[in-house]
Amino acid sequence: MALKLYQFAISHYCEKIRWALDYKGLNHVTVSLLPGQHVKTVRKLTGKASSVPVLDHDGQIVQGSARILDYLDETFPEPSLTPDDPELRTQALAWERRLDDEAGPAIRCYYYHHFLQRPKILVPMLAAGTPYYNRILLSLTFSRVDEVMRQWMKINEKTAGKSRQVMEGLLNELAGIYSQQPFLAGDRFSRADLTAAALFSPLFQPPEYPVPWPKPARIPKGIKAWLDQWRPQLQTLEKIYAGHRKPH
């Protein structure tokens, strides 16, 4: 059996799958790609879109974090991340879909809007897990990297502001639910909780995440002020992460 995960180390969607693989205790290899240069590799694997994560299981190719979670639960069912009960399963999948569609892009837009203004901090995170010379390459071409990323992900002051509002709404909603019950779907940890904590994890910088996080003093002031304000809600998700981000 060979499980190979093609990823960006910095991607919170890839963190979903790193976490799921570890949670299930599955031996795997991660192949970290450099954003931009990844296109050829991923299209060769999938024959279509260049997005990550992509899982290669003995030649069986699965692309996209939700599809990969489906595949892992079907192929390696214990411990399952998808509830057996049909109603709870529907709840868990609905939460995952909503978080993937709303939280993921909003966090990415807000985070990059601020950190693209700090290339010395961002470059090591973008190049994490790849050969050392990629840091030099990104540094030399960063103005182009900045332009492409902002255009591709529609990142600007206005979209970053809207993204912050989306994040705040979801954080309040999630904190309210977790104050009443331990998990989002039923009485056990599921892919819904994993998705919530994984997607927001770049905002609380867990050590399990394979990038060189910036020290507190180097975090942009705009993000730092926001993090200080929303620390209680983020700590709710940080507890979920800390309690379950380990081999089962």
Distance CA 21, CA 76 (A): 10
Nearest to 122, CA basis, from 32, 214, 7, 198 = 214
pLDDT tens digits for range 117-144: 999 999 999 999 999 999 999 999 999 9
pLDDT tens digits for range 185-214: 999 999 999 999 999 999 999 999 999 999
Encoded tokens for 243: 């309690």
pLDDT tens digits for range 146-155: 999 999 999 9
Distance CA 148, CA 142 (A): 10
Q: What is the mean pLDDT of residues 108-114?
A: 97
pLDDT tens digits for range 59-83: 999 999 999 999 999 999 999 999 9
Name the percent of the chain lying above pLDDT 90.
94
In this predicted structure, the answer to whether residue 53 has a pLDDT above a threshold of 60 is yes
Encoded tokens for 81: 């991340």
- Strand duo 3-7 + 54-57: pairing: antiparallel
pLDDT attached to residue 132 = 95
Query: Which three-class secondary structure state does DSSP give residue 197?
Result: helix
Nearest to 17, CA basis, from 71, 59, 58 = 71
In this predicted structure, the answer to whether residue 36 has a pLDDT above a threshold of 90 is no
pLDDT attached to residue 37 = 86
If phi > 0 it is left, if psi is from -120 to 50 it is alpha, else beta; for residue 134 that is alpha
In this predicted structure, the answer to whether residue 1 has a pLDDT above a threshold of 80 is no
pTM over 0.85? The answer is: yes
Encoded tokens for 114: 């601020």
pLDDT attached to residue 136 = 97
Give CA angle at 248 (195, 58), nearest 5°: 80
Q: Which amino acid type is present at position 160?
A: A
In this predicted structure, the answer to whether residue 238 has a pLDDT above a threshold of 70 is yes
Encoded tokens for 138: 């990104």
Encoded tokens for 38: 């990844």
* DSSP of 59-82: TEEEESHHHHHHHHHHHS-SS-SS
Give CA angle at 64 (13, 73), nearest 5°: 95
Q: Which amino acid type is present at position 172?
A: N
pLDDT tens digits for range 146-185: 999 999 999 999 999 999 999 999 999 999 999 999 999 9
